[in-house]
Amino acid sequence: MLADLRFAFRSLTKTPGFSVVAILTMAIAIGACTALFSVLQAVVLRPLPYPNPETLVAIWARNDERNLEAPALSWAKFEAFRTRTDVFADISMSAGNSFTLTEGEGEPEQLPGIHVTQNFLPVLGLGTIRGRNFTREEDSEGGAPVAMISRQLWQTRFSSDPNIVGRLIQFDGVGRTVVGVFDNLPQPFNGTAVLVPRADDLPYLPRANRDNAITHQAFARLAPGVSLKVANLRLAEMVQQFKADKASHIDAENKNELRTVTQQVLGNLDRTFWTLAGAVAAVLLIACANIANLFLARVSARQKEIAVRMSLGARRAEVVRQFLAESVVFTLAAGAIGVLLSWWSLRGIQIVAGPQLPRADEISLDPVVLGFALVTALVAAVLIGVYPAWQASRTDVGTVLKDNTRGAGGGSAAKAFRHFLVVAQVAMSLTLLICAGLLVLSFYKLQSSDLGFQVERRALGQLNLPSARYSTPELSREFYQQLQQKLNDAPELEAGGVVFGAPLTGIGAISPFAVQGRPIPELTKQPLASIRQVSYGYFAAMGIQLREGRFFDANDRNGGENVVLINETLAKKLFPGERALDQVLLTGRGSTKNRIVGVIRDVKASGLAAPPPDEIYFPRAQRGGAFMNVVAVAKPGLSASTVIPVLRRLVKEIDPTVAVATPQTYAQLVASSIGVQRVTMALLLTFAAIAALLAAVGVYSVMAYAVTQRTGEIGVRMALGATPGSILALVLRTGAVQVGGGLGLGLLGAFGASRLLADALYEVKPFDPLVFSVVALFFAVVATVACLVPAARATRVNPLDALRAE
């Protein structure tokens, strides 16, 4: 076998032009496969780093009538569910928050954290790397103020202090004793820096108001031997029992379902990447078909050599083995280059996808990926080499040696196989191009869609006032009123404001409401709306337009008339054919009256592809709350990046202990919100472009080979009076049959494949006539050009030279 490999290497080096072109072609295909598998392995295939992740589940709330679907559970349901040991081994509750840290190295920093029940880490199957977990006493009313911090926070802010356990640290102005250090948490908790106990008594949701909201996330371990399907069936029974026992509870009408932690992290991404895997497999098949055609041509050119070897005693198996060895050497060389190409492309994928792609930081060329690249190269070697090797072994030794005519490469079977490969390449390439065209059009419409607010020159940051310093609603209102005034006065800013629930941040709350003067349903059956709290400068800062009425102003203060604004979507839903102004909305358990003073234009708050939600805006000055986004727009001539240091300066002037977290321009926020769509489109477009190029090369190579094989026939036709035009038509007819068949099959394939993309398309139908027709026409032109080049060469054949050679 080693001798075969050495001979194969020498054989390929004797034809450097063929070898370089063919190896680079296959390297691109193997590189694309390797790059995508690396993403697939990190994002979809590799289990999340939890013990037995298939038994770790999140409890989701769903209410189709109220348009609710979220990983959320009320405390009352938690207490009812936790007793069912036939379903759950254990359940934990958690609620997100942020904590301002003023100790350690660096400026005050706002840290992402979670309020958790004592069993949070044990349910996840995780522990501490230093110290211990919380005790039940610490998780009870009156328990000692304690915290656990992440490995990253311990290393960066406290220089891996070996005495960190037992150290008293100020979080939000509250001294907490560090009892443990936990390893950096996997998704969906990645980035968490602080854990504190007492999830039942939150700063923004005191224990007394706990049953008036659905704020917590619940994660559970399934009981031993209980499958997800069985657990969901039993959970449905528990939900019905809860509704019967507590019909008036805010969570009574919501259904619940269990999803594994993997399902929660991925959502529909696994379908997207499996679709891309199908696309890259098609690219590999196209490349293999292309190179197989070239290898068939090599077999035809080497038929004399094969005949001589077989006449000297070489067996058919040895001939097959020799040609397979050549394909193995060839694909291994292509695989090595392909791995380098994939390594170069992975960083680009991470950058383009952004934080929207789960576990993007884990994408790498690990041993599993390298093993996949090797297997791909070997599979490609088999696909490329088997048929040419079999054709070589069928060489008619006597005929070739006696008559010097075509043997191995000129048979009708080989010719039909080459034509089949061309049809297959054209069909798969057209299918990929049409699917890519649909995604490109969808992404263009998504990116150019009207957001309802302005992005240029705008930036935002996140604030969470320390609970110890801002313990009452009056104190937080005073801080944000001062900040609004400073935003108004800053010379670098055109406008600014604060908001709870800024568009595209994923932050917000929902609340039931009713309309005064109409039948008022029970609280559990009232419709839900997204709640926004905004200062009077917010709408100008975001460039949001008013449809009727007025914006908030400085007179909308605490103690005055309760007023609200609603968006167009809610106005049309509640008051079709009526004026929304001066209508009164009833909100909360106390049915607080709020007069509508304005209707604003719809804003894409939940995502560029998501429809605008029903929204109610409250004046910030009439509400409490420590957590806000601050938004500002730079004056003309200044960039959005100049806003960020201004925001930090203004906040520091009011209170140096308050940190501005996650500062970014709005352009960056918009771009990151569509990172997955961008990388999906870019990958499929790249694969489709590679496939189209390979198919065009395939059409050209087969047509060029056909012209070479028919040189004698063409010479005879021209000697008998055939014109260059008739020769051109003869060759083009042969190509048209193959390309036309491929185009027809490709359109049928695209019609089926495009349906798989339906969920990923925005304002584009899977069967878009414009995309189908334009892409098919484009590919027909490309294929025609590929046929024209060898056809034009055929018209320049010298009849005398052709006949003399024949």
pLDDT value of residue 750: 92
Query: CA 211, 214, 220, 223 torsion: positive or negative?
Result: positive
Beta-bridged to residue 91, according to DSSP, are 220
Q: Tokens 């310093």 label which residue?
A: 469
Q: What's the rounded Cα separation, in Å, for the pair 114 and 27?
A: 47
Q: What's the rounded Cα separation, in Å, for the pair 347 and 83?
A: 48
Beta-bridged to residue 498, according to DSSP, are 630
CB 694 within 8 Å of CB 430? no
Beta-bridged to residue 98, according to DSSP, are 112
- Counting Cα atoms < 13 Å in the Cβ hemisphere of 114 gives 21
What does the domain layout of the chain look like in residue ranges? 2-43+268-447+676-805, 74-250, 466-657
DSSP category for residue 216 = B
- Average pLDDT per consecutive 10 residues, the chain (806 residues; last block may be shorter): 60 68 86 91 90 96 85 92 92 93 79 95 96 95 94 94 94 92 94 94 73 86 95 95 89 92 87 86 88 73 62 62 76 91 86 76 89 91 75 58 50 72 88 92 92 96 89 90 96 96 88 90 85 95 96 90 96 94 88 94 92 94 88 95 95 92 94 85 87 83 70 69 76 80 92 86 91 92 82 68 54
Residue type, 186: P
Q: What's the rounded Cα separation, in Å, for the pair 441 and 765?
A: 10
